[in-house]
Each structure stands twice: as C-alpha cells, then as structure tokens.
Structure 1
Amino acid sequence: MNGQKARYYFENGYMCAESVLLAICEAQKIENSSIPAIATAFCSGTARTKGNCGALAGGILAISLIHGRTEPDQSVDLCYKLTQQLTAHFKNKFNSDNCFKIIDCDLSITEGRDKFKNNDIKQKVCLDLVEEVTDYTLNILTSEQKN
C-alpha cells in the first residue's frame, strides 16, 4: 500500500528518491520541512551522473533518517545493517544499483532524456522500482521496530 503512495507521488511530479522518501516518511509519521528537498539531488541516477538509482537512494535516506546518528558516539551498526539489507535486496532483484544500467539511458544528455521519455521508461521500469523500494524498506523498518 505504501509503495502505491510512492507510485502516486512519482506519477504526480515528484522524482524517484523524493517519492520513496515522502511515502516512507508519511507511513512512519515523520514530518520535516526538508522532505522531499533533501532527496532531490539523488534522483535521476544521482543528479544525472550515472550514479545509484534514486529509488534506492530514497530508501537509504529514509533508513538514515530513522536510524542514523544524532550524536558522534552513537553506533552506526543498525543503520548500516538495514542499508546493506536493502541494497542487497535491490541488487538481487534488479541486477544492479546503477540507474544508467537499469534504465539503459544516459540522463546527462538530451538524447538519453528523450529516450527515457519516448520509450516510457518511467512507466515501464521506474514506477515498479519506486514501489518495490518503498514497500521493502518499510518492511525491514517495521521488522526492526518489532525486535
């Protein structure tokens, strides 16, 4: 259900990382004026640099927001464990964590952005990624909260 909320955000103008982070924060009842802005540069393969998938980055941002350190002497173990779990799941499911490899488009050039739009890759690929990452991230967060 929360993945569908991320899908809704993505279909209505937010980008991948923003949509995932928004949906997870909404589900976790986290309000912050920096959301979704903090996720913007992670969209489109980290700002069109052929970097990590923005949906994955949105999930990682959510994990860090919930389990990241607020003091220098705090442990990183849980945050890292959940991030590693999400990343392994993502790579296993989609064969890569790299936006360029997943969508086969170079978003840093006009031709690549045209290919993305003209081949409806947002609908054919990215919407499922956004939904999957949101649901999986919420699942591991919920599982961890029960422990």
Structure 2
Amino acid sequence: MRFDVDLEKIRKIAEDYYRDGDFYCSEAVVKTIIDEFQIDVSEDVIKMASGFPVGMGGMGCTCGALTGGVMAIGLVYGRSQGKDPKVNKAMELSAKLYQIFCERHKVSCCKVLTRGMEKGSPEHMEQCIAFTGEMAYEAAKIIAENAE
C-alpha cells in the first residue's frame, strides 16, 4: 500500500467513473481509493459498495459518496478480528469525514440533498459527480494524513 497519492487525481478519477456511467458514487469512491493507494484486496470489496448508491439501494438515505468514503477508511483503518481496538481509529476518521460532509452540505440524507431534482437530470448528475469527487478526495486525504 502506498500513501503518496495525488488528491486531485483521485477526485478526477472518481468523478469520471460516475460521469461515464462505469460506477455509482459509493463504488467509484471505493474503487478509486483501492486503486490509487494500491490496496491489495479482492475486487469483491467494490461489490460491497454496490448497495449504497442513491442513499442505500435507491431509498434516499445516507449519501452514497459519503458511505463509500467511510468504507474506504474502514478498509485501511478498520479491524478484521473481534475486540481489536483498531475499530476506534476507523470510527474516529469516519466521523471526521461525516463532519466534513455535513459542514459543507448541512445534511447527509440523499433525499434532502436531491430534493426537487429529477433523478438522472443534468442538475442531479452534476451534484452527485461533485459529491463523489469530493468524498474520494476527502477520504483519501484523511487516509494519507493518518498513515502509520
């Protein structure tokens, strides 16, 4: 795994995945983080992100770009063994990402963020592409700043 990443490149890659229709928000964030940090994990991890787009399976709850960022942070700083205190670092850094998102956008609820927008409209796409790039950038920044 590497930590010397280009944050603006990460933003662009994630945005392009969404813009080009390759991946939805959460998937784009997770795939970009895995690839750019060269994290040696199965591509099945990207599949795990497939249920989060459009606020968790289209239900409009938490923004998928944000949940993708939280997944990426957990991938790097989380635990895989019971009672491992690493969970505390993953939770702390995930809370930081959530706070960044909410400070900028007031809420994390997809329904609220997209209120009045037609799904797939240029306005909707522009906003979600931007959120995807922003969360990839911010999650990458948090991961890189906390390299151990």
Q: TM-score range by the shorter chain?
A: 0.7 to 0.9
* TM-score of the pair, normalised by structure 2: 0.87
- Deviation, 1:66, is 1.0
Displacement after TM superposition at 1:120 (Å): 3.5
1:108 aligned partner: none
User: What CA distance in whole angstroms lies between the structure 1 residues aligned with 2:120 and 2:101?
Assistant: 24
Match of 1:15 in 2: 24
Letter of the 2:131 partner, please give it: L
User: Equivalent residue for 2:66?
Assistant: 56
State the TM-score, normalizing by the size of structure 1: 0.87
More helix per residue: 1 or 2?
1
RMSD: 1.4
Partners of 1:141 and 1:33 lie apart in 2 by: 19
Structure 2 stretches lacking a partner, 5+ long:
1-8
Give the 3-state SS of the residue equivalent to 1:35 in structure 2: helix
Which of structure 1's runs of 4+ aligned residues deviate more than 3 A? none
Classify 1:73/1:103 alpha carbon distance in 2 versus 1 (closer, same or farther; 3 Å): same
The separation in 2 between residues aligned to 1:44 and 1:50, in whole angstroms, is 6
Counterpart of 2:12 in structure 1 is 4
Structure 1, unaligned runs of 5 or more: 106-111
2:61 aligned counterpart, secondary structure: coil
Structure-1 residue corresponding to 2:121: 118
- Alpha-carbon deviation of 1:67? 1.1
AA aligned opposite 1:55:
A
